[in-house]
Amino acid sequence: MGLGKTIQAMAAVELMARERNLERVLVVTPASLKFQWVEEIRKFTSRQVQVIDGSEKERENAYSTPTFYRIVNYDIVKNDLLKLNAWEPDLVILDEAQRIKNWEAETTREVKKLKSKFAFVLTGTPLENRLEELYSIVEFVDARRLGPAFQFLEDHRIIDPAGKTIGYRNLDQVREKLKPILLRRSRDKILQDLPEKVDTPIHLELSITQQKLHAEAMEQLAKLVARKNLTQIDRTRLLKILARLRLICNCASLADDKTSPMDSPKITELLIRLKDLILSGTKKIVVFCESKEFLISIESMLKKNSLGYVFLHGQLPGVSRANIVKQFRDDPDTIIFLSTDAGSTGLNLQFADTLFNLDIPWNPAVLKQRMARIHRMGQKKPVQSFQFIMQASIEEKVLVSLQKKNQLFENLFGKTEDEIELSSSLGQEFLDQAKIWTQPQEPNANPHPLNSADLIATAIPFFEALINCLKTPEGNQALDSVSEPLKTHFFSLCKQISDQNIRHK
């Protein structure tokens, strides 16, 4: 989260090399961060470092080369566990250790088979939803620290008569057990060392097509959650509908092939703001979105407008990711960094000072991780972020839900409460939220200010109608020929925007 975990880990390694004769250090990290570790190690130390990558034969050859640091990603641990243990590392460092939060996952089970004298785990989000996630991560450092899993759950979970988790208790005991092994550095401790950060929500209206598609999907969702008992097939359908709603909020064409790819107020607004920022002297801009398909649409828009960019996503090999970050940092013509959430953890992008969140991830930790890419140690300039939110949509409803999901983390690490209550177990959470989301929304007494996307969405059909009329023999009466509702709506928007003193191109 930009608090210097990597540097602190390397400093601890140097101390342990001197005091405990460390000779072999294994770093397990997401694939997108392997070469960033190489860069940091070479920058701050003189140690040998090796990245394990490529085909099985290439990796086999690499293992025969002596080195101090050996860097692998989580998937390679699953494939090369025997070889890694045969190397007999003195220390294993798990970076972004929330990757092992699910103790039932195959990756978690294989990573926990790594053997070493010492172990570090680095994470900005030791838990995101459930206390069990913390147990799984701590188990890698000290398997006995929190006791047997069944006893831990018995001591700390509050369950209802149906067996659902409705809260957690005795959190003071967990805090005490963690004290000997936990080093925590929170953002509030370094805020005085960071420049100012300004968060700006951008509220946009759905286009006509988006409104229609969104209403249809919400109706399907309402019918589904109204059922008393949902089968596994129903729950799968529910998740698919929620995913479709989010795609609709990004761009109508992602959910409807017959719609133009440019039927997206988000793309329209983003282009206007990017051009304004570049004209005003902004050098580096980061754009995040979970949907790779939506970013591909944005990529097409950037190409048409000759705006220099790079695009990072989860399917890129590690070397390509490192080159993308280097190009974005060093090339003055590469101004925009497009990224899925494959780039939301660990990357150092503090040479950028502006960030756009085009969507709202369900996990609140992801939003913090995105911002921490640029608002982190080493940032020298004020930082601004823009959060796009579609009005009267699933996005507004998810945003309200996110504000409630930080409670568990804050109570365990940031406060002194001994017990907290949860509204439902995680398995039920989406269903409960979906029932709330499908309830009729009350009219907004204080509507959000109009913006350029509202005007353009109406202006395009207005001027198309006007131009078509000008081509007729009665062209001198073209304005009178435009339909009255369209004309009235367009001029009304112009007046409202003028009254609000908003500048538009």
Superfamily classification of domain 5-145+181-185: Tandem AAA-ATPase domain (3.40.50.10810)
Q: What is the mean pLDDT of the chain?
A: 80
Delimit the domains of the chain by residue range. 5-145+181-185, 191-209+259-393, 452-499
pLDDT recorded at residue 108? 93
Answer whether residue 194 shows pLDDT above 70. no
Minimal CA–CA distance to 2: which of 371, 386, 409?
A: 371
pLDDT recorded at residue 4? 75
Calculate mean pLDDT across residues 218-242. Answer: 86
What is the token pair recorded at 37?
């570790």
Answer whether residue 124 shows pLDDT above 90. no
Q: How far is CA 391 from the centre of its chain?
A: 21
d(Cα 62, Cα 81) in Å, to the nearest integer? 15
d(Cα 324, Cα 393) in Å, to the nearest integer? 34
191-209+259-393 and 5-145+181-185 share a CATH fold? yes
pLDDT recorded at residue 444? 47
Q: Could you tell me the pLDDT band of residue 1, with boundaries at 50, 70 and 90?
A: very low
Q: Could you tell me the pLDDT band of residue 160, with boundaries at 50, 70 and 90?
A: confident
Q: ∠235-238-239 over CA atoms, to 5°? A: 95
- Specify burial of residue 501 (Cβ count, 10 A radius: 0-12, 13-18, 19+): exposed
What is the token pair recorded at 183?
């080093």
Specify the range with the lowest mean pLDDT, choosing from 26-35, 226-235, 486-495.
Answer: 486-495
CA atoms within 13 A on the CB side of 420: 21
pLDDT recorded at residue 153? 87
DSSP 115: -
The CATH number given to 191-209+259-393 is: 3.40.50.300
pLDDT tens digit sequence for 357-411: 999 887 777 888 888 888 777 777 888 889 998 988 988 877 766 655 555 555 5
Q: Could you tell me the pLDDT band of residue 197, with boundaries at 50, 70 and 90?
A: confident
d(Cα 80, Cα 66) in Å, to the nearest integer? 17
d(Cα 490, Cα 460) in Å, to the nearest integer? 10
CB 394 within 8 A of CB 242: yes
Q: Which helix (H) or strand (E) covers residue 150, if one does?
A: helix 149-156
Specify the range with the lowest mean pLDDT, choosing from 142-156, 377-391, 438-452.
Answer: 438-452
CB 356 within 8 A of CB 389: no
Calculate mean pLDDT across residues 134-155. Answer: 90
Q: How far is CA 240 from the centre of its chain?
A: 19
Answer whether residue 503 shows pLDDT above 50. no
Phi-psi region of 479 (alpha: psi -120 to 50; beta: other; left: phi over 0): alpha
Give the global pTM: 0.56
pLDDT tens digit sequence for 47-104: 999 999 888 888 999 999 999 999 999 999 999 999 999 999 999 999 988 889 888 8
Minimal CA–CA distance to 22: which of 30, 34, 10?
A: 10
pLDDT tens digit sequence for 254-268: 988 777 767 799 998
